[in-house]
Amino acid sequence: MFSLKHVIAVNCRFLSTRGSVIPKSVHKTESPETEVEKKQKLPNNQIGVTEDGGQKFYGFTYYPRFPGQQDPPYEPSKVLMVERIRDLKNRPYWEKDTLAKLGLSMEVKGSQAAIVANTPSICAQLWKVKHLIRVTPITFPQGLPEDGDTAGAQLQDNGELVFIPKLKSDALIAATQSKPEDRRDYLDTDTVKKRLRLNWLRPY
């Protein structure tokens, strides 16, 4: 036979458990909605905000100069100019292989540049050898020609691709002229070496 004290203890235990369950269920239903709202308010590629006002991205944290500062819109270039600024001597083989894939092997002179696409896979390779190269985005201040004719194009050191009319006219003249090999008075390298060798052996 149950006593009054036992019945009151059971009822109080039931009320305490029921009261503790309701806030937990309400908290579980509200937390996903708040997280979704926070993710919708964040800009692209941002994963959170730190306590000191920094913006957390994948791999780094950005601290704006002023509170609430927004960077101006920037459209990245689709093409990059890559130059090697350091020698590959005594460098590990994986760095040499990465530069060879980019077109900057040891046989290529340091003054020459490689043109690569601005894609995630290429940028990942550039990040591995960032201490050996200089990357310059290529811009088109004059735009691209509508007819697709790239004659007279010149790539500047600052990455600007400009079109010079004089170079275009010179390219057209060179295309219309006959090749030097087709002329009757043309001498190839082997013939010149042979003639000079004979003159050296028999100067008189």
Instruction: Supply the CATH number for residue 112's domain.
Output: 3.30.1390.20
Q: At 63, list the tokens.
A: 């601290």
| pLDDT of the residue at 164 | 83
Residues in the chain: 204
Looking at the domain assignment, is residue 84 inside a domain? yes
| pLDDT of the residue at 147 | 73
Looking at the domain assignment, is residue 143 inside a domain? no
Distance CA 28, CA 35 (A): 11
DSSP letter at 204? -
pTM passes above 0.75: no
Contact 168, 151 (CB under 8 A): yes
Distance CA 171, CA 162 (A): 15
| pLDDT of the residue at 44 | 64
Looking at the domain assignment, is residue 149 inside a domain? no
DSSP letter at 152? T
Distance CA 80, CA 139 (A): 9
| pLDDT of the residue at 34 | 53
Looking at the domain assignment, is residue 119 inside a domain? yes
Looking at the domain assignment, is residue 19 inside a domain? no
Task: Count structural domains, the chain.
Answer: 1
Find the angle CA(89)-CA(94)-CA(99) to the nearest 5 degrees.
Answer: 70
Report which secondary-structure segment, H or E, holds 4.
helix 4-41
| pLDDT of the residue at 40 | 53
Looking at the domain assignment, is residue 71 inside a domain? no
Looking at the domain assignment, is residue 132 inside a domain? yes
- The domain in which residue 91 lies consists of 79-137
Report which secondary-structure segment, H or E, holds 155.
strand 153-155
| pLDDT of the residue at 16 | 46
Looking at the domain assignment, is residue 112 inside a domain? yes
**Tens-digit pLDDT profile for the chain (204 aa)?**
445 455 445 455 544 444 444 444 444 444 454 554 454 567 667 888 888 888 888 878 888 888 777 777 878 899 999 999 998 889 999 999 999 999 998 888 777 899 999 999 999 999 999 999 999 999 999 888 777 777 778 888 999 988 887 777 776 777 777 777 777 778 888 889 998 999 999 887
Distance CA 47, CA 60 (A): 11
